[in-house]
Structure 1
Amino acid sequence: MGTSNQEESACCGTDCCSSVAVIQQTTGTSNQEEGTCCGTSCCTTEDGGSITDNLYSELELENVPVLAALASRGCGNPTALAELKPGEKVLDLGSGGGIDVLLSARRVGPTGFAYGLDMTDAMLALAERNRVESGIENVRFLKGIIEAIPLPENSVDVVISNCVINLSADKGQVMREAYRVLVPGGRFAVSDIVFQGKIPEALQSDLEAWAGCIAGALEESDYRRLLHEAGFVDVEVEVTRRYALQDIADSGASNAVSLLSEQERAEVDGKFVSAFIRAHKPL
C-alpha cells in the first residue's frame, strides 16, 4: 500500500486560527503541527496569500458553508474546469473540508454522485458537517490515502484534486490508482502546483516547503510522463497562475528561500505555477 506525504489544513471551529494540519511522512507515520489560517498552511501565504486567492466565484461560495470555504487550501478550481455533467460520478482526492466535493455534487445533480477521499479524521468530520449543513445527499466521504483509493476499478467518471497530489511521496502510484478507478473514457482533471524547471535541493528537503505545496511539485515534463506511464492519453497542462519568489517564501518556505543562492532565486522566480492538468483513460 502506498504511503502519503499529504498535508491538510482546515478551520475546525469558528475561529480561523484553530485549524489542524497533518503531514504524514513517507514512513507512514504522522507529524501533527499546529497550523492556522493565519499562518503557514498548505498552499496559503501568511497574509491570506496569492496562491489561494480568488479561486471560486461569489455564486459558488454562496452555495457552500462558510467553514468549507475557510478550510479550502487549494490552488485552483477543478470543479469549474472539469466540465462535469449531470449524472456523472466524481472522486476528489484529498477532499479536506469538502468544498470541491459539494460543488461537484451540485454540478452532477441528483442523478450523479461525488466522493471525497481524505486521510484525516478532523477533515472527514468537518466535511460531513459541511455536507449536512448544505443539505446535499449525493455525497460520501471516505477515509484513506490517495495512493490506495478505497473504491473498485472502473467506478467513477472523473477524478479531481486540488493541490494535493504534489504532497504525495509516490505520485506515480496516485496516478495509477486514479487510472484504475476511472471508467474507460473517464477523465483526470486536477489542479496542482507544477514547476517549470528543476527545483533546488534547499526547497526539496525543506518540510515547510513540502507543507506549502512547493517542495513536492513535479516538473511539468515529469507530470506528463507519469500520467502517460499510468496509461492516460491526451495529457494537457494549462497554466492558470504563476508565482513570484515572494509568493513561495510566503507559502511557508521563507527559511528555505533564504538558503538559495542568487542564481537559484533567479531560476525559481516565476517558475512555480498553478496548473490544470487534463488526461483521459482510453475507451
Structure 2
Amino acid sequence: MRTTSILIGAAALTLAVAACGAPSEQAAEPAEGGQAPLRIGVNPVPHGDVLAFIDENLAEEAGLDLDIVEIADYNTPNAQLVDGDLDANYFQHRSFLNEWSENGPEADLTYITDVHIERLGLYSEGVESAEDLPEGAEIAVPNDPANLNRALGILETEGLITVDPEAGETATEKDITDNPNDLTITPLEAAQLPRSITDVDAAVVNGNYAIEADLTEESNLLAWEPEGDDYVEKYANGLVALDENVDDERIRLLADLLHDERVLEYIQQTWQGVVLAVDAEGRPVE
C-alpha cells in the first residue's frame, strides 16, 4: 500500500520532528517476512507522480514497499535525509546537490542514478516570441545558484544578454556584461515564478513548477534551455542517499525500477517534452 505524506517548509519539518520524536523512534518496522518500507522524499510533480506510478504498477511484483513523502520545497528533502527521517530522496540534479553540500551541514550524500530532466523554459503571457520582448522588459529567473545559471544560459542563447564566461556555473545577474535591451533580471524563489508571470514580461520556470501551474498549456513558450553535451550530467534529476546506504537492497531495487521501460514510457506520454526520461545508460529519451 502506498503511504504519502506532505511536508511544506522548515516550519512543518520542525513540528513533525517535535511531534514524532527522534528518527530512530520513527523508523518503519518491516512487514512480517519482508523488508521495511523505503521512505523517500520527493517534490510532488513530476517526482511524486513517477513514484506513484511505480508504486501502483511495479513495486508489489518487485517486492518493494514505498513510503512516499511529498515535500514542496528544495531544501527540506536533503535536510531530512541527513537527519535520518528519509532513506533516500528524488528531486534534485547533481549541480544542486553539489551547491547544497558546499553550503549545508557536513554530510556524505551520494547521487545514485539519473531519472529525468525537467527542462527550464522561458514563458510569457503577453509576448509570443523572445525577439518580441520590449526594451526594458522584466524577466524573472530562479534564485538558487544552479538554476539561475541555467536561466541566464537561455537568455544568452536567445541573444538577449551576454554573460561573463569567467563566471562559469555560478553566474548570476551581476555577471551580465552586455544587456543591449536594458532588461531587468529579477531572481525569485523557483516556486514563486509561475505566480509572478502576470507581473513580469517573461519568466524562466523550472519544468516541475511549469507543469503544476499549467504554464505549458496556458502560456507562451518563448524558448527551451539549450542542451549541451553535458546536459544529462548536469541537470538530470536523480535518486540520492547517504553514502552508508548506497548498497541498501531497497534503494538498488528502486533504481532499477526507475529505468524500467514502462516508467520511461509513462514519463514520455505524461509530460511530452517538458520532462525527458533518462535511460539506464544516461541517455535522454525524447
- Give yes or no for TM over 0.5: no
Q: Which has the larger radius of gyration?
A: 2
TM value normalised by structure 2: 0.32
TM value normalised by structure 1: 0.33
Structure with greater helix share of residues: 2
Larger relative contact order (CA 8 Å, sep ≥ 6): 2
